[in-house]
Amino acid sequence: MTPYLSVTVPVYNEELNLRPLMDRLYPVLQRMGRPFEIIFTDDGSRDRSLEILKGMAGQYPEVKVIEFNGNFGQHMALLAAFEESRGEIVITIDADLQNPPEEIPKLVAEVEKGHDVVGSIRQKRQDTFFRRTASLTVNMVTRKMTGMQLSDYGCMLRAYHRNVVNNINRCQESSTFIPALAQTFAASPGEVPVAHAERAEGESKYSLYRLVRLNFDLMTGFSVVPLQLFALMGILTSLFSVGFAIFLMVRRFIVGAEVEGVFTLFAILFFFMGITIFGIGIVGEYVGRIYQEVRKRPRYVVRRIHGQAD
């Protein structure tokens, strides 16, 4: 029987959360009364996650497990699950139980109302003050950079219609950000508030560096605004430099030669050098993305698929 719902779950070192997740997720899907499948992607876990997932694949006929050959990242894990999914509605959810599975019917109802992409907005977030502040800043900057009006980019509890998933599957980008990519294909996007819980077991897989890296991918992958802003900054800096040079020349004729301002000139020089290096870094981000794309290496490598007759 072709499933109506496909729930996709990326997994990386979540051995303590997998059983509690399944104990809550499976009854929720059963109560919905529609055919469903659950697709886990093991993203190169180093704990017992894969062993537990294999056991689930043997216990539940609706479970399929994609085993990666290494660690390729959360979004690659979701893309692999999208390729295997068959449902009319595809749900993405993390394995850490910070997004309650009980909220899934709310997202499905919104898709059935006519929305093709349904995002979620975390209410009363149970994260640290630093994570909440960083998320708020990133969401605001990203909305300005990309022009995409998503309230909460970081929440992976989302629902996608099959048409959007098919379009995502046609994309072969080596690095991407699925919520933003889906938004480019959405004809009628929507958002719903959802509950948020504190992580019960394990620790977040997103360090500060990975969060910065992810958001650089987001901004450079979906917008050229950083390049445009730097070009504008370069023009303004050039105009300021010309005006300052004229000022120094006039001052020299009026006041005469002096050396007291040498440290000011050094400070201005270092400021301009900093802007230049910053601009080179932005250009380097885009060049790096081009380099990754032209190599045409596999985005991920699947070692084996477990469950649903393999």
The DSSP code sequence of 169-235 is HH---SS--HHHHHHHH-SSEEEEEEE-----SS--S--HHHHHHHHHHHHHHH--HHHHHHHHHHH
- 109-127 confidence digits (pLDDT tens): 999 999 999 988 877 665 5
Q: Are residues 31 and 90 in the same domain?
A: yes
> Is 217 part of a structural domain of the chain?
no
Domain coverage including residue 178: 5-203+297-306
pLDDT of 285 above 90? no
> Is 56 part of a structural domain of the chain?
yes
Across 205-214, 220-229, 235-244, 295-304, which has the greatest mean pLDDT?
Answer: 295-304
Contact 154, 211 (CB under 8 A): no
Tally of structural domains, the chain: 2
- Give the alpha-carbon dihedral of 239, 241, 243, 248, to 10 degrees: -170
pLDDT of residue 264: 67
Q: Which segment of 202-206, 210-214, 284-288 scores lowest on mean pLDDT?
A: 202-206
Q: Are residues 130 and 262 in the same domain?
A: no
The residues pairing with 8 across neighbouring beta strands, listed in sequence order, are 39, 92
Q: Which residue has the higher pLDDT, 110 or 137?
A: 110
> Is 249 part of a structural domain of the chain?
yes
Q: Are residues 190 and 47 in the same domain?
A: yes
pLDDT of residue 176: 79
Q: Are residues 264 and 301 in the same domain?
A: no
> Is 198 part of a structural domain of the chain?
yes
Average the pLDDT over 272-298 and give the result.
78
0.85 exceeded by the pTM? Answer: no
Q: Which segment of 70-79, 98-107, 172-181, 244-253 scores lowest on mean pLDDT?
A: 244-253
pLDDT of 21 above 90? yes
Q: Are residues 80 and 162 in the same domain?
A: yes
Q: Which residue has the higher pLDDT, 184 or 52?
A: 52
Q: Are residues 98 and 139 in the same domain?
A: yes
Q: Are residues 57 and 164 in the same domain?
A: yes
pLDDT of 261 above 90? no
pLDDT of residue 208: 58
- Cα 139 to chain centroid distance, Å, stands at 11
> Is 210 part of a structural domain of the chain?
no
> Is 211 part of a structural domain of the chain?
no
- 189-201 confidence digits (pLDDT tens): 888 988 877 766 6
Q: Are residues 231 and 165 in the same domain?
A: no
pLDDT of residue 57: 94
pLDDT of 260 above 80? no
Q: Are residues 267 and 301 in the same domain?
A: no
Q: Are residues 37 and 127 in the same domain?
A: yes
Q: Are residues 178 and 232 in the same domain?
A: no
> Is 136 part of a structural domain of the chain?
yes
pLDDT of residue 209: 59
